[in-house]
Structure 1
Amino acid sequence: MHDVAAIRAAHPIAATVATAGVELRPSGRRLVGLCPFHRDRDPSFVVYPETASWFCYGCHAGGDVIDFVARISGTSFRETAAQLSQGLPALPSNVVRLPARPPAARLDAASSAVVEATVAHYERALVKYRDVRSYLVRRGISVETARRLRLGYAAGGLARQLRSSGLRLEAAERLGLTAGNREPFTGRVVVPDLDVQGRATWLTGRALAACGPRYLNLRAQSPLLGLAGARLVGPHAVVVVEGPFDWLTACEWELPAVALVGTHASRLALAALRSFRTVYLALDADGPGRRASAQLASALGSRALTVALPEGAHDLNELGQRRGGRDAFLAALAEARRRQEESWQQSERTHLNRAV
């Protein structure tokens, strides 16, 4: 019989997995990567250095270093243990690299200039409309946050402003900012998406009156609203919400967050979310929100944690209007982490018992 404990100690699981060509990324006390045993588009393969074990949440394979080498080499557990007791054998190297971040979709120069000028125009207008600023405060968005995120109000006069700035209106027409003599965004609170320099790259408008669609978006690829700002905080964690005002609430609470601007995540959006180690899914507490959360959790694998909003809160912005809403949400994030840790510990115990 071979000393299994000695073999595990002599061959650290993370180093052995890396020798087989699997790129791993830190995620808390664990390491994650793409599984070498099945077609894995999302990092489902998790290595637990503290317990010298591994598990794939996609194909449900798992075990210790002996199980890993046996599976990747096609040898039995007994044969592999004998080989490892003499040293690490040459392993088949099927390089499995984590996906790179996708390039950001870019507007052409003329469109970029028009979007920035439009947001600046609406930003100046907000200062003049006390009732609109009061509306934002009622929704839990402070004057400071509105200023920092360059919120605005579409009060008209955009075409004249663009002409006076020497900008051509063709780009504004293409983007849906003007339509002949009309300005489709008129009467809306404008929420821009900003790049790392604070320049506007996209925008959406929220109607104040009950006429037309609640939200009107720029005719350009819809981003993950707030992605640039969330990445500035770092790759550790991000909160995913549905709507622009949910995102504003998270920003008010100084949490790194992005908004889907709906319930659908594009392929580019999913790729961007995979650049974060932990993704908290805090979508609306209704049927579409729950279905979207389930789909995202499936697509994002072990990095995704589904957050249960406190009782009676339909969305994050609604929670943000309650006394103690921030503390309640932080408690919900902690509970999501606790549930994940409990699930992982159970998986570790199960697979360690099988390996012994």
Structure 2
Amino acid sequence: MSNGRIPDEVIGAVLKHHDIVDVVGRYVHLSKQGHYMKGLCPFHSEKTPSFTVTPEKQIYHCFGCNAGGGIIQFLMAIEGYSYPEAIRHMAQEAGLDIRIDSSADTGSQHNPEKAKLFEAYELAGKLYQYILKNTEQGKEAMQYLRARGLSDKLIDTFGIGYAPPQWETLTQLYERRQFPLPLMEQGGLLSVRQDGQGFFDKFRERIIFPIHDWKGRLIAFGGRAMGDKQPKYLNSPETMLFYKSRSLYNMHLARPQIRKLRQLVLFEGYMDVIKAWAAGITNGVATMGTALTAEHAEGIRKQADEVIVVYDGDSAGQTAAYKSIPILEQAGCVVKIAIIPNSQDPDDYITNNGSERFVREVIETAVPSIKYKLLYIRKNYKLQEDGDKLRYIQNALKLIADVPSPVEREHYAKELAQEFHYSYEVTLQNLNEIRLQSEKNNRFGDNKAKAWNNVMNDATPRVRTPSLLKAYHNAERQLLAIMMYDPEMTRYVEEHLGDQFNVDAHAALAAHLYAYFAQGYEPNASSFIAMLQEEQLERLASSIAMMGNSHGVNHQVVDDCIKEIKKYPQQQLIQQKREEMIRAERSGDIIRAAHIGSEIISLEKQLKSS
């Protein structure tokens, strides 16, 4: 069995040097439960662990979101690797000298247009850096950056450049290097002239901040005007390389520290990230002026458990920070909010107060999300007036009631009672009444947006559970589970059933198993899954592998499964005939109805005797 151009022996050698518990354990806190390891799934938000690793089979499976596979699939999902990239990474970690033909990677980076755009962005980045550091045109921009407190080392670290005021500096370079100009325009590097005749540079007379993907490939630019030119910031448009709702500035540099600390510091802009980096905050990224999205949050959750939001201290920044809380918490992040006084932004605060105070008084004093919510809503009330005071207390209690931790609820309820000189018992009673009413109104569980994770300790979810699988479906899954661990039974099934599985995905998985064992491979769920290289089949195989092969397996069990599978098409035919008979009766065609009735009797006899 061949996996693209990566030989199976290469895959086998790489897998032999890695243990799935060690690999997954770098990303997920695992606890032993019998023969399994369990933890919170890194691919969706949950509070009740449904993510299971099976050391014996070297596979993982989440019973919540159905993610599953072996070590390779896990690294692809958590790191965003392509299949060959995951193999290369594992080989390097194991110290194996394995050469993989780059053409084996059929991923997006080998799309010719994307490859050309990556090359074009790299060239543009070098051009802008050269102009900033080595030309007369770049002197003013360099002076501006130094005045903003950026050292030469910072400028080099972040690859900052300068786009000159001329209209065709980059365009002419692309023409000389024979880059296709229409593609450069699609990639957000050039613009089309109004008359449609020719192209000109999109970025002119701006300081250029390169934007990279998490792998460090240049995918977009942010351009900042130095004077009164509008707009103040100009970002690349969305392209086949750059998606604003997913991209985070500086993720490629910050990622190692984020992964080490399991903490990410979230800013709004380039300069905030860069100045914070100089202050020692090397786990900072930014949303580049766009609103935080659920896609951003999901990407963040894969890298970090905790997020410190450090937005501008003005009203707009505080509102954006408030809106970020549910998005990040929905993804499963613990959220803290840093409060910057006097409406300053992080850049200003560092410039005015120094790096040490920024770390000590802003980052380290970030408050839990519930504390920030209480501070945020507080400014909407005149607390010296009894009416507003009571309304604030009631709304504060509603926020506190949503906190999942009883200890935190008690803490903030006590604070509220002490501040406004109310009895703690009365405050707690009010809080419990709000929680009780909330549970009556909305009896959902851990993850309100995800039906498969709505499990509560004291009640079942309202969302209707899926109906039981049909007999033939269960028989096919049981048969595949047996086959996965038994080459002899696989050959028997191939001979007596072949491709007659009723579910297409089951038929595809069976075909892979036939081929796998025909080439002499030993039963190994992880190796088998590694060779599928199709996400739907990988998930299905991991789910079936979790069933194991403890079915009291013998030929009678297998024969019963095959019989059940073969019955289904005939049952379907009988059902179709019954519907035809009903239509004939309704149309008054009694003779045809009687003829169909005879066919049904004959088919049912065949079914009973089979």
Which of residues 251, 256, 266 in structure 1 aligns to 2:277? 251
Counterpart-to-counterpart distance in 2, 1:224 and 1:197: 12
3-state DSSP class of the match of 2:277? Answer: helix
Once the two structures are TM-superposed, the CA of residue 239 in structure 1 deviates from its matched residue by 0.9
Change (3 A) 1:338 1:281: closer
Which of residues 296, 309, 314 in structure 2 aligns to 1:281? 309
Counterpart-to-counterpart distance in 2, 1:145 and 1:98: 44
Indicate if the aligned counterparts of 1:188 and 1:208 stay in contact, CA closer than 8 A.
yes
Once the two structures are TM-superposed, the CA of residue 306 in structure 1 deviates from its matched residue by 0.6
Q: Which residue of 1 aligns with 2:148?
A: 139
What letter corresponds to residue 250 of structure 2 in structure 1?
G
Counterpart-to-counterpart distance in 2, 1:215 and 1:241: 16
3-state DSSP class of the match of 2:127? Answer: helix
Once the two structures are TM-superposed, the CA of residue 277 in structure 1 deviates from its matched residue by 1.5
Which of residues 174, 185, 190 in structure 1 aligns to 2:208? 190
Q: Which residue of 2 aligns with 1:29?
A: none
In the alignment, structure 2 segments of 5+ residues that lack a partner are 1-29, 50-60, 68-76, 82-107, 192-197, 372-402, 412-431, 433-610
Deviates more, 1:253-262 or 1:115-124: 253-262
Matches within 5 A, 1:68-79: none
Indicate if the aligned counterparts of 1:163 and 1:169 stay in contact, CA closer than 8 A.
yes
Matches within 5 A, 1:267-306: 267-275=294-302, 276-301=304-329, 303-306=334-337
Give the structure with higher Rg (CA).
2
Q: Which residue of 2 aligns with 1:214?
A: 232
Indicate if the aligned counterparts of 2:311 and 2:321 stay in contact, CA closer than 8 A.
yes
Once the two structures are TM-superposed, the CA of residue 192 in structure 1 deviates from its matched residue by 0.6
Deviates more, 1:264-273 or 1:174-183: 174-183
Change (3 A) 1:174 1:15: closer
Deviation string, structure 1 residues 65-116 (Cα, Å, up to 9, x no partner): xxxxxxxxxxxxxxxxxxxxxxxxxxxx993469854849978112211111
Q: Which residue of 2 aligns with 1:110?
A: 116
Counterpart-to-counterpart distance in 2, 1:307 and 1:262: 18
Once the two structures are TM-superposed, the CA of residue 325 in structure 1 deviates from its matched residue by 4.2
Once the two structures are TM-superposed, the CA of residue 208 in structure 1 deviates from its matched residue by 1.4
3-state DSSP class of the match of 2:190? Answer: coil
Q: Which residue of 2 aligns with 1:261?
A: 288
3-state DSSP class of the match of 1:335? Answer: coil
Q: Which residue of 1 aligns with 2:365?
A: 335
Q: Does 1:42 align with 2:37?
A: no
How many residues align? The count is: 277
Change (3 A) 1:162 1:263: closer
Q: Which residue of 2 aligns with 1:148?
A: 157
Counterpart-to-counterpart distance in 1, 2:35 and 2:314: 46
Deviation string, structure 1 residues 109-152 (Cα, Å, up to 9, x no partner): 12211111111110111112222112112222211101111100
In the alignment, structure 1 segments of 5+ residues that lack a partner are 1-13, 26-32, 35-40, 48-92
Counterpart-to-counterpart distance in 2, 1:348 and 1:24: 23
Once the two structures are TM-superposed, the CA of residue 263 in structure 1 deviates from its matched residue by 4.4
Deviation string, structure 1 residues 205-224 (Cα, Å, up to 9, x no partner): 01112122111111222211
Q: Which residue of 1 aligns with 2:486?
A: none
Q: Does 1:322 align with 2:334?
A: no
What letter corresponds to residue 308 of structure 2 in structure 1?
Y
Change (3 A) 1:98 1:245: farther
Q: Which residue of 2 aligns with 1:347?
A: 408
Give the % identical residues: 20
Q: CA RMSD in A?
A: 3.6
3-state DSSP class of the match of 2:366? Answer: helix
Change (3 A) 1:112 1:15: closer
Indicate if the aligned counterparts of 1:172 and 1:178 stay in contact, CA closer than 8 A.
yes
Once the two structures are TM-superposed, the CA of residue 321 in structure 1 deviates from its matched residue by 1.8
TM-score, normalised with respect to structure 1:
0.67
Counterpart-to-counterpart distance in 2, 1:94 and 1:160: 53
Indicate if the aligned counterparts of 1:239 and 1:281 stay in contact, CA closer than 8 A.
yes
Which of residues 159, 163, 186 in structure 1 aligns to 2:171? 159
TM-score, normalised with respect to structure 2:
0.41
- Which protein has the bigger strand share? 1
Indicate if the aligned counterparts of 1:281 and 1:306 stay in contact, CA closer than 8 A.
yes
Once the two structures are TM-superposed, the CA of residue 199 in structure 1 deviates from its matched residue by 3.8
